Amino acid sequence: MQISSFIGKANYNGPSQFVKLNPFTHEPLHTVQSCDLMGFVSAIQAANHAFAEWKDTSADDRAKAVQKLLQLLREKAEGYARLEAVNQGLPYWFVKKYSIDASISLVESLLASAAVKSVTGNEQASPVGVISIIASWNLSLKIILQRLVPAVMAGNSVIVKVSSQSPVTAAILSEIASELPVQVLVTDDVDVKKALIAHPGIKAVSFVGRIENASEVIKSAAQTSLQNYKKLQISTGTKNPAVMLGEPDENTFNEIMQSFMLGQGQLAWNSSRLFVLEKHEQLWQERIQEFLKNLKPSEGIDDQSLWTPSLKSSTFEKFAEIRKQATDDQAKLLESSSPLGAREKTHLPVVFTKDMSRCSTLQQDQIHAPFFILSAVKYPFDVAKYANVSYFGHAAHLWGDEEKLAKVAVGLDVGAVTYNKWSVSLTGAFAGQKQSGYGLQDFSPNGRFYSNSKLIF
């Protein structure tokens, strides 16, 4: 399958290509035509032309165009889920439920609330202009639509940069958003990525991705802010704690392991640290060791194994360093025992640590790998003290009696707390705390990011 950018309602083929590998096999999956700066200039021109017409359309006409996107999502849900699953190294059922079906629910909800205005009687809202959306690869269609649909419903034109780790999302967007003011870029060109932030024609930037890349977005926007102020909306960095106050019963254990394993610590929603009570620690350790002993690496999107591939080559390069740091920080390692063999290029060993030093930077940093921390506390109120040492505050996943969990939740510095489920089940985007969120974390069409407002007196 060959994948191209979609600019001015036509495919755009840049002068260079890159190959997307199948995460499960490392065999070639797609040939991708990488967008260059000439393509970006064409995208800016097309976006401005589209905005000139779209900004004056009625709310009803915008809703009708979004309805067509929704119709295609419904009709082709299974096919889209399979395409994204194989690009992202995730199970089909998981992508179908938490990306495609969640996107359908999201768009339905936005359309249902389109008539509700958040502005007051003396406040007037207008579109911002051309907005760039730069998205990470994990469940990327969901992440993009959480931002794209509110943007176009508010009257804006959009340029989307799809992750090179999931280029097939560009093909999907080109199909479902063909009647919307949307340009879709797929590229590995660093200059194009910089232009999506710094170009004066871009009036707002919504970014989802790693903290080091988010820092570059902020720096680039700051350097041009005097001549060209932009709105920023950044979602980045997670260190999501999972909390279970009881013993590891079978159903709950499997749900908790899914929150760690599906995505191998690479997803924004993945749990990274498991907090249990000291009196149950031995039971949890034994149950985790049994789980790791029976674990087998996933071979494809229809495989039921939770041991999915790791996508980034940088993760493989840093894994030995992470292991060494953990042992230097007094941690004991509980590891998967199944030999990887030919899958050493696609899968990393799964590791849970025990007795990790509370002062270790591994307690604070996002690791982006199947390297997790089992942490025992004496009392439930101790969870917040140790969970909050991280720089990030995206989400927390709590299992058990909700009345008891509420006392834990109140002390956690995160943007969302889920009871007896993990945050991947949440349909809409939400604001993160600390370094997990920056800028205007408002995802409503009538909110401060997607609309400009002025007071009328």
Confidence at 404, pLDDT banded by 50, 70, 90: very high
116-120, 162-166, 285-289, 299-303: the lowest-pLDDT one:
116-120
Domain containing residue 415: CATH number: 3.40.309.10
Domain containing residue 12: CATH number: 3.40.605.10
The letter for the amino acid at 275 is F
Residue 120 has pLDDT above 70, yes or no: no
Same domain, 262 and 143: no
Same domain, 118 and 168: yes
**Span 413-430, mean pLDDT?**
97
What does DSSP assign to residue 97? I
Neighbour tally for 199: CB within 10 Å: 19
Same domain, 158 and 254: no
Residue 341 has pLDDT above 60, yes or no: yes
Q: Any idea how long the chain is?
A: 457
Same domain, 320 and 216: no
Confidence at 115, pLDDT banded by 50, 70, 90: low
Same domain, 215 and 270: no
Which tokens is 353 given? 């640590």
Identify the pLDDT of residue 422: 95
Same domain, 298 and 218: no
Same domain, 125 and 177: yes
Residue 55 has pLDDT above 70, yes or no: yes
Across the strands, what pairs with 18? 32
How far is the CA of 12 from the CAs of 49, 269, 345, 349, in angstroms?
Answer: 17, 33, 32, 40
Identify the pLDDT of residue 224: 76
Confidence at 51, pLDDT banded by 50, 70, 90: very high
Instruction: Report percent pLDDT > 90 for the chain.
Output: 89
Q: Which of 135, 14, 175 is nearest to 4 (CA)?
A: 14
Q: Which domain holds residue 250?
A: 240-428
Contacts of 12 (CB under 8 A, 6+ apart): 4, 5, 6, 33, 35, 39, 42, 43
Identify the pLDDT of residue 29: 97
164-168, 227-231, 310-314, 413-417: the lowest-pLDDT one:
227-231
Neighbour tally for 327: CB within 10 Å: 11
Given the structure tokens 């990470």, which residue do they identify? 136
Identify the pLDDT of residue 229: 87
Q: Which of 174, 120, 204, 227 is nearest to 12 (CA)?
A: 174
Instruction: Report percent pLDDT > 70 for the chain.
Output: 98
Residue 151 has pLDDT above 90, yes or no: yes
Measured between alpha carbons, how far is 24 from 299 in angstroms, rounded to an integer? 6
CA max distance for the chain: 72
How many separate domains does the chain show? 2
Residue 226 has pLDDT above 70, yes or no: no
Q: Which of 133, 135, 145 is nearest to 102 (CA)?
A: 145
Residue 118 has pLDDT above 60, yes or no: no
What does DSSP assign to residue 431? P
Same domain, 22 and 89: yes
The letter for the amino acid at 316 is F
59-63, 119-123, 129-133: the lowest-pLDDT one:
119-123
How far is the CA of 65 from the CAs of 51, 54, 176, 232, 435, in angstroms?
Answer: 15, 11, 10, 26, 36
Phi/psi at 455 (nearest 5 deg)? -90, 135
**Span 433-445, mean pLDDT?**
95
Same domain, 259 and 336: yes
pLDDT, tens digit (0-9, with 9 covering 90-100), for 349-386: 999 999 999 999 999 999 999 999 999 999 999 999 99
Residue 221 has pLDDT above 80, yes or no: yes
Phi/psi at 161 (nearest 5 deg)? -105, 110
> Taking all residues of the chain, what is their mean pLDDT, rounded to a whole number?
95
**Span 305-321, mean pLDDT?**
94
Residue 249 has pLDDT above 80, yes or no: yes
Contacts of 369 (CB under 8 A, 6+ apart): 264, 265, 266, 310, 315, 318, 319, 322, 348
Identify the pLDDT of residue 114: 80
Same domain, 224 and 255: no
24-28, 49-53, 337-341: the lowest-pLDDT one:
337-341
Identify the pLDDT of residue 223: 83
Neighbour tally for 60: CB within 10 Å: 9
Residue 319 has pLDDT above 70, yes or no: yes
Same domain, 324 and 197: no
Measured between alpha carbons, how far is 203 from 156 in angstroms, rounded to an integer? 10
Neighbour tally for 456: CB within 10 Å: 8
Same domain, 193 and 310: no
Confidence at 122, pLDDT banded by 50, 70, 90: confident
Confidence at 347, pLDDT banded by 50, 70, 90: very high
10-24, 96-110, 154-168, 212-226: the lowest-pLDDT one:
212-226
DSSP codes, 98-133:
IIIHHHHHHHHHHHHTTT---S-TTEEEEE--EEEE
Which tokens is 102 given? 């969640």
